[in-house]
Amino acid sequence: ARTVRCSWVVIVSLGLSLAVLAVYTTVVVVVDLKAPKPCLTEVCVNTASRVLAALNKSVDPCDDFYEFACGGWIEKNPVPEWATSWDQLAILREKLVTDLRELLEDKNDHGLPKSVLKAKALYRTCMDVDKLEVYGTAPITDLLLQLGLPPTPPSVSSDNFSWEQVSGRARRTLGLSVLLSVQVAEDVRNTSRNRVVLEQVSPGFSDRYLRQADKFSFELEQYRIYITSMIKAFHPDTDAERFADDIIEFSKTLAGIMTPVEVRRSGTHLFHELSVTQLLGGNGAPPEWHQHDWQKYIDLVFSNTSVSLTDGDRVIVMDLPYLHRLAGTLARTDPLITERFLWWSVFSTVAPMTRAIFRTLGFEFSRAAWGLRARVDRHKACAANVNANYGLALSYLYVNKHFDEHEREKAIEMIEDVRESFAEAARSLPWMDDGTRDTALHKLRAIRTFVGFPAWLMDTHKLDRHYEHVEVVEGNLFESYLKLTWATVKKSLESLRETPDRNRWVATATTVNAFYSATLNSVTFPAGILQPPFYGNGIEAINYGSIGAIMGHEVTHGFDDQGRRYDSDGNLASWWSRETLEQYQARVRCIVEQYDQYGLPQLAGYNVHGFNTQGENIADNGGLRAALRAYRRHEARAGRAALLPGLPGHTPTQLFFLGFAQIWCGNSTTGALKSKMVEGVHSPNKIRVIGTLSNSKEFSEAWKCPLGSPMNPEHKCVLW
C-alpha cells in the first residue's frame, strides 16, 4: 500500500511539474511572440548600418541628443566643395539630380511625349557651353534695348528713360520683379477667384544685410566687388567702382523703406483691396505718387496677354505703405541712379547665360561670401534648370522608373494616422473652447493630401498640352530662356480670368521637400522625398519618426501662427474665440522665447530669431507629437514592433526619436549658417532637434533623462 501511495505521489508530482512547465512554456512563448524582434531584411540592415554610423556614443543623449544622434555623421560628412550646406535633404537632392541626368542623357527617345523631348532639348542646349561663347554678349545688349535700357552701363541718364517702362517690360518679358512685384494669385478672402496682387520685393541682395550694413560689412563688400568685376568684364570703359557704389547705396535705400518681416508676419499687418481706379489714384498716397505713370506700368505688365485690367477689377496690395514710400523715394532719387539699378537688375539676371567669365565671377562671389569652394558641375546645373522649367515632364520619366505605386498607398495610410492623431490631441486640449475646436477639426478633416505625383501625369496628351506653348530653341540657351519665361508669365497672368484649380499640386514629383498650402488647405509629399532616410526604412518606428514627423509638420502648418488665420476652404477668416486665441498666443510666445535663447558656438553674437521662425518651430513641435501618436496607432494595429539589428538595447520608441533626429544631421559653412540665422524661416538643423525634443515629455521618458537635464527642462512649451 505504501508503494502504491508513493507511486501515486510521484505520478501526481510529475503531473504537476509538467503542468507548471507547460504553463511556463506557454507564457514564455506568448511573451516571446509579443516581444520586438530584429528586422533582418536588406533594407533594415542598411538602415541599422546608417543609424549606427551616425551616432556619437560618447555623448550622453540627455545632454545633447543632436550630437548623440548625429555626431558620427557630422564627422564623416563635411560640406562638399561645391555646396554651402550638406544634410539629408541635400543628399537626396544630389541623388535626384543624378537620376535626372541619366534620364535626360538617355539616347532612347522612342515613344516619349513631346514635352519630354523638349526637356531633353533644353538640357542639350544648356550643356553646349561653346555655343554660349559664340553668341557672346550680343543677346544681352539686344535684350537691354528691347526693355528700354542702354546697351552699356549708363553713365548719364537716358533722355527717354522711364522706370515704369523698364520695370513693366522686365516683369512681362523675364518674369523679373524690380522695385515691386505684380502677380496673380487666389483672393485670400475668397479663394474661389483670382486677384492681381502687388507687394514689395527685395532689392536683389538680402534686405536684412542691407539694413545692418555695419554688422554685415564683409558680405556687402563682397557684393560690391562682384558688381565691380561684372561691370569691368562687360564694359571696361565704365567707372565700375562708382557704379557698384551707386547700386549698393540705392539698394540700402530700398531696404530701408521695406516693411520688415516682423511687421508683415504680425496679426496687425493689414493688406488693402482696391479698385484699379483707387490704386492708380494713390488712395491716400503722398503727392509724389502722381509723378509716376502707374497706368503705363500695369499696362506693360499685362501686355500681349488676353487680360486688360478695368475698374471692375480689384487689386490686393500687400504693402500699401511700401508703395507710397517707393513713390517718394523714386521721386527724390537721381534718375541716373534708378536707371543704373534697373540696368544692373536685368544684366545680373541674364549674364550667366552668356560668357563663362560671368559664371566664374558669380562663383568667386559665392566663394568669398558664403564659403563655396568649387563650382557646381555643369550637368548638375543644367539638370536643375530643366527641372525648374519642365518639372512635370521630368516627373513623367522619374516616376515611371523610380517610384513604386505601393509606396504611395503606405504613405497615405501614414498621413491618415497623423491626421487622426492630431485630431485626438486637439479633442483633449484644455485651453480650446468647443466651438473653436469643432472648427479646427473640420479644417483638419478638409485638408487634401497629394502624394507621389498627380494622376493625370501619366496621360501624355494632357502632359503635352501643359507644355504646348513652351518652346525650346535648340542650340540657343538665351533665346530658349526668353521664350520659356514669356510663355510662363503669360499663362500665369491670364489665370486672372480663370477659376483657381483647387486640386492643383504646388510642386512637381521631382522635388525633395514637402508642403502645406494655406489657400488650398492641402499637404503635398512629392515622390522625390519618399525614400530613405525619410521613408522606406524597413521598420515603422524609423519611418514614423522621419517622414511621419514631416507629415505632422505639414499638417500642423495649417494651425501655426499663419495657417490658423485661414479656414477649411483656404479663406482668411476669424474663427477663433477671443479666450482661446489668448491661450493660443500665450503658448506661441513660450515657443518664441524658447528659440530666442538658442545660439551656435561657431556663430558668436547670433541667436535664432524666435519670432520669424515661429511657424516652422510650431510645426516641428506639433508634427513630432502627432507622429508619435500616429506610430502608436500603427503599433496597436500591427501588433509586434520590429527592432534594428545591432541596436538590441534600443526600444521602438527610442528608434522613433533617432529617426526624427537623424533626418536633420547636417553641416554648413559659416557664411551659409549666418544667412540662415539672420533671414531664414527655419531654425538651424541642430536647433530643430534640440528645441523640439526638449519639449517632449515622451522623449525624456523613452531616454530616461533626469528632470532638469539639458534635454528635459522643467518648463516645456507645448501648443499642439
How many CB atoms lie under 10 A from the CB of residue 605? Answer: 6
In terms of phi and psi (left: phi > 0; alpha: psi -120 to 50; beta: otherwise), the region of 646 is left
Mean pLDDT of 362-369: 97
Residue 91 lies in a domain: no
Q: Categorize the per-residue pLDDT at 465 as very low, low, confident or very high, splitting at 50, 70 and 90.
A: very high
Considering the domain architecture, whether residues 19 and 62 belong to the same structural domain is answered as no
Domain enclosing residue 556, as ranges: 52-78+405-454+505-703
CA atoms in the 13 A half-sphere facing the CB of 682: 11
Alpha carbon 350 to its chain's center? 25
Considering the domain architecture, whether residues 536 and 445 belong to the same structural domain is answered as yes
Considering the domain architecture, whether residues 181 and 65 belong to the same structural domain is answered as no
Considering the domain architecture, whether residues 522 and 661 belong to the same structural domain is answered as yes
Res 708 pLDDT > 50: yes
The order of strands in the sheet holding 181-187 is 181-187, 190-199, 314-317, 272-275
CA distances 186 to 197, 269, 311, 520, Å, are: 9, 19, 19, 9
Considering the domain architecture, whether residues 523 and 569 belong to the same structural domain is answered as yes
All three cell numbers of 247, joined, read 547700386
The label of the residue with cell 510645426 reads 619
> What whole-number distance in Å separates Cα of residue 514 and Cα of residue 528?
9
Considering the domain architecture, whether residues 332 and 423 belong to the same structural domain is answered as no
Residue 711 lies in a domain: no
Residue 713 lies in a domain: no
Q: What is the tens place of the pLDDT at every residue in 159-196?
A: 999 999 999 999 999 999 999 999 999 999 999 999 99
Residue 286 lies in a domain: yes
CB-count exposure of residue 495 (10 Å: 0-12, 13-18, 19+)? middle
How many CB atoms lie under 10 A from the CB of residue 224? Answer: 15
CATH code at position 628: 3.40.390.10
- Residue 297 corresponds to which amino acid? Y
Check residue 35 and give its pLDDT.
60
Active site residues: 554, 620
Considering the domain architecture, whether residues 419 and 293 belong to the same structural domain is answered as no
Domain count of the fold of the chain: 3
The rounded percent of the chain whose pLDDT value lies above 70 is: 95
CATH code at position 177: 1.10.1380.10
Considering the domain architecture, whether residues 335 and 419 belong to the same structural domain is answered as no
Mean pLDDT of 499-517: 97
Mention every residue, 6+ apart, whose C-beta is less than 8 A from residue 235.
152, 153
Mention every residue, 6+ apart, whose C-beta is less than 8 A from residue 504.
520
> What whole-number distance in Å separates Cα of residue 633 and Cα of residue 405?
23
The residue count for the chain: 720
The rounded percent of the chain whose pLDDT value lies above 90 is: 90
Considering the domain architecture, whether residues 413 and 312 belong to the same structural domain is answered as no
Mean pLDDT, the chain, as a whole number? 94
Q: What is the tens place of the pLDDT at every residue in 577-598?
A: 999 999 999 999 999 999 999 9
Kindly report the pTM of this predicted structure: 0.92
Considering the domain architecture, whether residues 553 and 687 belong to the same structural domain is answered as yes
